[in-house]
């Protein structure tokens, strides 16, 4: 792509601005491919792909005012360019109704959409009024209509159960009804960052229905490719879509400002529906159509054996039975062992998947999917198996199923577990402190599963004693030493020798960012800096590391590539494509001065109203973890650092800095932490960001069990942990005299970002001095401060070698 190519977008740039907006053509191409592959075709009566040269009438203002991304830190990229659907259809040679198109262009220019302030962005744009006569006139010239419905989502604001958000507005419903009545065929494009109500598609006659997630700068062109058949709409749903909002299991316990009981427990999304209410699903998890048809035949199940790390090998024969080339996703699910009497389990759990290569009509390919036996295990948080706080494989015969969505599967065989096996013995950690009832499987008189309830086990461990027993050892001080950091980077001196010469004040400074966003130490518009943020630290040769948002592109003052959102990427089910795209994005980071990208976002789609769902991948932890690992590997292959976020259980934007996520230890391990665990195991991210919310009574950035017990001790994570921006300050509930960042460092959270001030503080207007004060007066050890400082230095060494 050259600067002149920017004119193809919705904004034409000239001179130096156009030069600044140059995007690597390989990255632009991959964004376009990924956006198309992540577009989900939900229904098609033959209207798609659009017939070549056939006239088409396009309705809906979002054809012009296209949602390329969501709002907030996951979307406010100074995009090099964006594209619109109307422009893209015209460029693709579609014979759009020119009179109608001109009317939409004029009206949108005269009625620009509101921009809104932070957290108050518009969720939709008012529709252009159009008469029945205008619709009928367009229908006389074209058999097919495209109607575009758009929804925005964003940080610090939920979607709501109102017209213009989760539901259609009256104007939108009227437009769909009148267009559907007037035209022989109606294609409905839903351009949205979050799942919205789609029940209207059944009653309003949508012959074709397609989900176009915010696809970034190339998203509209990618959709035009898919609509015209230049490429296949290759997406598969990463979250189930129910007929009604009330059908979602989290609906009764979402959006409260003080706390939310995660009462559905492990029965999140499709795990609930497939166990208790498959009929409540409008479009199942994993579902998506293309322009051809497929037959997936199980072709063998073998293993496990010690030679392959105790993994099953699931083989499937995939045949393109249609008339066009295409690619599909082969999904592998596990069912509960027959006759189980121990741990209650969902009826289906995703345990593996792969994307086929492009296959011509009639072509057949055999794929093999490796499924580690660990993926069949469950976490026993109350000792029903005799092994509390352990991942266990219960004895029994486990059905393994293969198909192209969770409801369209065939048996691939069974795997026998002769006797109960403890896969990993853990220790009690992060259990709830408050009692609540959680969902389990019960059965009626006919043996049909139905939701039952049991009390979630509460914490019994002595956390204070655990912390005191595991205080890190200190490096003995060596005052007056002047080893330069360059010697550490070059390998001529060790980090311990360097640490030994730092004062407590310098050590503490390493655990704070550079006070605010847009640090003068980095490229304009950066999210903040860490490392060498004071003159004293820089005098020792310690460089600053520059952070930038985010999941959809570099949020800088300069122009940058705008990437498909997280849900769009995950909807590809193509980790190789995601990794390739992320590697090129890593090259852009290097070119534009970003050391740490605050991405990927990987919280679970617990509820469709969460305002930041567009940044996240899925309701499923395996798909989430493997997609996140692909992003991390791609970025870090270029020498920079990825920072997965938000760790953990950050599943709503309402009161996100104070609300308590009350979750059983089992649901945490199997759902909300599992994706992060997979990412750590598969990709070793250099940085991880904690979340704003409390988890079972303690903020994530103070949560010792979350960060030190589970992340570091159990998972073996050795990297840096940072806070989300401007954490909440609070006194330490276990250690009188400690508070704020002293508690943070004791928990193992290394750096307060963006710096030494926060939303609320026991040091209201000033810098947080709690680390130095806590060390001198309240028992915070030198070893604890050195441990966090060491991890900062280790990251800087990795970035500069």
Residue with token string 């800095």 = 657
Size of the chain in residues: 801
Is residue 120 predicted with pLDDT exceeding 90?
Answer: no
Is residue 748 predicted with pLDDT exceeding 90?
Answer: yes
Task: Name the token pair of 241.
Answer: 């879509």
More confident position, 711 or 515: 711
Is residue 14 predicted with pLDDT exceeding 50?
Answer: no
Active-site annotation holds for 247? no
Is residue 378 predicted with pLDDT exceeding 70?
Answer: yes
Q: How far apart are CA 213 and CA 778, in angstroms?
A: 51
Q: Could you state, in order of their start, the residue ranges of all structural domains in the chain? A: 40-233, 291-426, 464-800
> For residue range 295-349, what is the model confidence (pLDDT) as tens digits?
999 999 998 876 656 899 999 999 999 999 999 999 999 999 986 668 999 999 9
Q: CA angle, 9 as apex, 6 and 10 as ends, to 5°? A: 130
CATH code for the structural domain at 291-426: 2.60.40.10
Q: What is the mean pLDDT of the chain?
A: 94
Residue 275 pLDDT grade (very low, low, confident, very high; cuts 50, 70, 90)? very high
In this predicted structure, which of 4-8, 226-230, 265-269, 316-320 has the lowest mean pLDDT? 4-8
Q: How far is CA 388 from CA 346, 627, 649, in A?
A: 20, 31, 22
- Write the DSSP symbol of residue 796: H
Is residue 458 predicted with pLDDT exceeding 90?
Answer: yes
Task: Name the token pair of 31.
Answer: 């964004």
Mean pLDDT value across residues 751-775: 74
List, in order, residues 6 or more apart from 275 with CB less than 8 Å away. 267, 346, 347, 348, 441, 449
> For residue range 609-657, what is the model confidence (pLDDT) as tens digits?
999 999 999 999 999 999 999 999 999 999 999 999 999 999 999 999 9
Q: How far apart are CA 201 and CA 557, in angstroms?
A: 41
In this predicted structure, which of 13-17, 514-518, 667-671 has the lowest mean pLDDT? 13-17
Query: Residue 305: what pLDDT?
Result: 73
Which element (helix H / strand E) includes 547?
A: strand 544-548
Q: How far apart are CA 315 and CA 402, in angstroms?
A: 9
Query: Residue 306: what pLDDT?
Result: 66
Residue among 235, 240, 324 at smallest CA distance from 284: 240
The packing angle between helices 25-37 and 219-228, to 10°, is 50
Q: Is the CATH number of domain 464-800 3.20.20.300?
A: yes
Q: How far apart are CA 628 and CA 152, in angstroms?
A: 23
Mean pLDDT value across residues 726-740: 92
CA-based R_g, the chain, Å = 27
Residue 758 pLDDT grade (very low, low, confident, very high; cuts 50, 70, 90)? low
Judge contact between 287 and 242, C-beta under 8 A.
no
- Whole-structure pTM over 0.75, yes or no? yes
Query: Residue 479: what pLDDT?
Result: 82
> For residue range 468-492, what is the model confidence (pLDDT) as tens digits?
999 999 999 998 888 999 999 999 9
Mean pLDDT value across residues 767-779: 88
Query: Residue 19: what pLDDT?
Result: 58
Q: CA angle, 578 as apex, 563 and 706 as ends, to 5°? A: 95
Is residue 5 predicted with pLDDT exceeding 80?
Answer: no
Q: CA angle, 543 as apex, 539 and 544 as ends, to 5°? A: 120
Query: Residue 11: what pLDDT?
Result: 41
Residue 3 pLDDT grade (very low, low, confident, very high; cuts 50, 70, 90)? very low
Residue 9 pLDDT grade (very low, low, confident, very high; cuts 50, 70, 90)? very low
Task: Name the token pair of 764.
Answer: 């209201």
> For residue range 565-583, what is the model confidence (pLDDT) as tens digits?
999 999 999 999 999 999 9
Is residue 764 predicted with pLDDT exceeding 90?
Answer: no
List, in order, residues 6 or more apart from 53 with CB less than 8 Å away. 93, 95
Residue among 734, 749, 666 at smallest CA distance from 702: 749
Residue 10 pLDDT grade (very low, low, confident, very high; cuts 50, 70, 90)? very low
Query: Residue 6: what pLDDT?
Result: 40
> How many C-beta atoms surround the C-beta of residue 338 within 10 A?
10
Judge contact between 144 and 56, C-beta under 8 A.
yes
Which element (helix H / strand E) includes 559?
A: none
Q: How far is CA 164 from CA 124, 161, 167, 614, in A?
A: 6, 9, 6, 17
Q: Distance from CA of residue 641 to its chain's centroid?
A: 17
Query: Residue 40: what pLDDT?
Result: 98
Q: What is the largest CA-CA distance in the chain?
A: 87
Q: How far apart are CA 554 and CA 564, in angstroms?
A: 13
Task: State the DSSP string of 335-388.
Answer: -PPTT--SS---S-EEEEEEEPPPB-TT-EEEEEEEEEGGGG-EEESS-TTS-T
Is residue 18 predicted with pLDDT exceeding 60?
Answer: no
- Per CATH, the homologous superfamily of domain 40-233 is Glycoside hydrolase family 3 C-terminal domain (3.40.50.1700)
Residue 117 pLDDT grade (very low, low, confident, very high; cuts 50, 70, 90)? confident
> For residue range 276-298, what is the model confidence (pLDDT) as tens digits?
999 999 999 999 999 999 999 99
Which element (helix H / strand E) includes 285?
A: none
Which residue in the list 225, 724, 750, 768 is annotated as catalytic?
724
Q: How far apart are CA 455 and CA 186, in angstroms?
A: 50
Determine phi and psi for 425, rounding to 5 degrees.
-90, 125
> For residue range 346-369, what is the model confidence (pLDDT) as tens digits?
999 999 999 999 999 999 999 999
User: Beta 596-597 vs 544-548: how paired, if at all?
Assistant: parallel
């Amino acid at each position: 792509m050259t600067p002149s190519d920017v004119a193809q977008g919705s904004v034409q740039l000239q001179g130096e601005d156009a030069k600044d907006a140059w995007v690597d053509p390989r990255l632009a191409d991959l964004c376009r491919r990924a956006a198309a592959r992540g577009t989900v075709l939900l229904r098609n009566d033959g209207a798609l792909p659009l017939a070549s040269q056939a006239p088409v009438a396009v309705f809906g203002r979002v054809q012009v005012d296209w949602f390329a991304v969501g709002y907030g830190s996951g979307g406010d990229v100074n995009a090099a360019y964006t594209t619109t659907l109307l422009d893209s259809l015209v460029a693709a040679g579609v014979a759009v109704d020119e009179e109608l198109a001109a009317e939409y262009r004029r009206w949108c220019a005269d009625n620009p959409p509101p921009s809104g302030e932070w957290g108050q962005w518009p969720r939709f744009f008012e529709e252009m009024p159009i008469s029945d006569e205008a619709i009928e006139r367009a229908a006389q010239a074209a058999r097919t209509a495209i109607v575009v419905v758009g929804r925005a989502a964003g940080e610090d604001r939920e979607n709501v159960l109102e017209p213009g958000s989760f539901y259609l507005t009256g104007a939108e419903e009227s437009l769909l009804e009148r267009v559907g009545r007037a035209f022989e065929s109606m294609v409905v494009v839903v351009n949205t960052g979050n799942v919205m109500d789609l029940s209207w598609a059944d009653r309003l006659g949508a012959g074709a229905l397609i989900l176009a997630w915010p696809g970034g700068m190339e998203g509209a062109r990618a959709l035009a490719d898919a609509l015209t058949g230049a490429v296949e709409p290759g997406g598969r749903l990463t979250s189930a879509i129910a007929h009604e909002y009330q059908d979602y299991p989290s609906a009764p316990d979402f959006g409260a400002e003080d706390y939310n009981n995660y009462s559905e427990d492990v029965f999140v999304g499709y795990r609930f529906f497939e166990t208790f209410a498959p009929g409540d699903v409008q479009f199942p998890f994993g579902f998506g159509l293309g322009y051809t048809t497929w037959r997936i035949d199980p072709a063998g199940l073998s293993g496990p054996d010690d030679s392959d790390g105790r993994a099953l090998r699931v083989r499937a024969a995939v045949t393109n039975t249609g008339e066009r080339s295409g690619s599909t996703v082969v999904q592998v699910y596990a069912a509960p062992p027959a006759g189980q009497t121990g741990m209650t389990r969902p009826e289906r759990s995703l345990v593996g998947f792969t994307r086929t290569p492009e296959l011509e009509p009639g072509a057949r390919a055999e794929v093999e999917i490796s499924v580690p036996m660990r993926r069949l295990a469950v976490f026993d948080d109350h000792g029903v198996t005799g092994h509390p706080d352990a991942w266990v494989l219960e004895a029994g015969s486990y059905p393994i199923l293969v198909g192209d969505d969770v409801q369209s599967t065939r048996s691939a065989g069974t795997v026998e577990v002769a006797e109960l096996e403890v896969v990993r013995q853990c220790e009690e950690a992060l259990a709830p402190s408050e009692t609540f009832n959680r969902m389990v499987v019960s059965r009626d008189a006919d043996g049909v599963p139905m939701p039952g309830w049991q009390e979630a086990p509460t914490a019994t461990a002595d956390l204070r004693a655990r912390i005191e027993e595991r205080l890190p050892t200190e490096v003995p001080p060596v005052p007056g030493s002047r080893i330069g950091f360059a010697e550490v980077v070059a390998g001529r001196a060790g980090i311990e020798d360097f640490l030994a010469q730092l004062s407590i004040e310098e050590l503490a400074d390493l655990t704070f960012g550079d006070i605010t966003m847009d640090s003068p130490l980095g490229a304009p518009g950066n999210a903040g800096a860490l490392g060498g943020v004071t003159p004293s630290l820089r005098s020792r040769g310690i460089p600053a590391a520059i952070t930038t948002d985010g999941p959809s592109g570099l949020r800088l003052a300069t122009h940058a590539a705008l990437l498909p959102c997280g849900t769009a990427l995950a909807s590809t089910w193509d980790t190789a494509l995601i990794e390739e795209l992320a590697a090129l994005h890593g090259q852009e980071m290097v070119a534009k001065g970003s050391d740490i990208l605050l991405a990927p976002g990987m919280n679970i789609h617990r509820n469709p109203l969460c305002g930041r769902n567009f940044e996240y991948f899925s309701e499923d932890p395996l798909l989430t973890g493997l997609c996140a690992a692909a992003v991390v590997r791609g970025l870090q292959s270029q020498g920079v650092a990825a920072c997965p976020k938000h760790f953990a259980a950050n599943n709503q934007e309402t009161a996100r800095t104070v609300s308590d996520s009350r979750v059983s230890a089992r649901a945490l391990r199997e759902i909300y932490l599992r994706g992060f665990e997979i990412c750590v195991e598969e990709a070793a991210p250099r940085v991880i960001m904690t979340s704003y919310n409390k988890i079972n009574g303690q903020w994530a950035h103070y949560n010792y069990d979350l960060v030190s017990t589970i992340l570091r001790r159990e998972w073996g994570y050795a990297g840096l942990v940072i806070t989300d921006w401007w954490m909440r300050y609070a006194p330490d509930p276990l250690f009188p005299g400690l508070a704020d960042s002293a508690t943070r460092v004791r928990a193992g959270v290394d750096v307060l970002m963006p710096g030494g001030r926060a939303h609320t503080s026991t040091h209201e207007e000033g810098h947080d001095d709690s680390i130095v004060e806590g060390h001198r007066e309240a028992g915070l050890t030198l070893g604890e401060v050195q441990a966090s400082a060491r991890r900062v230095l280790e990251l800087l060494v990795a970035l500069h070698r």
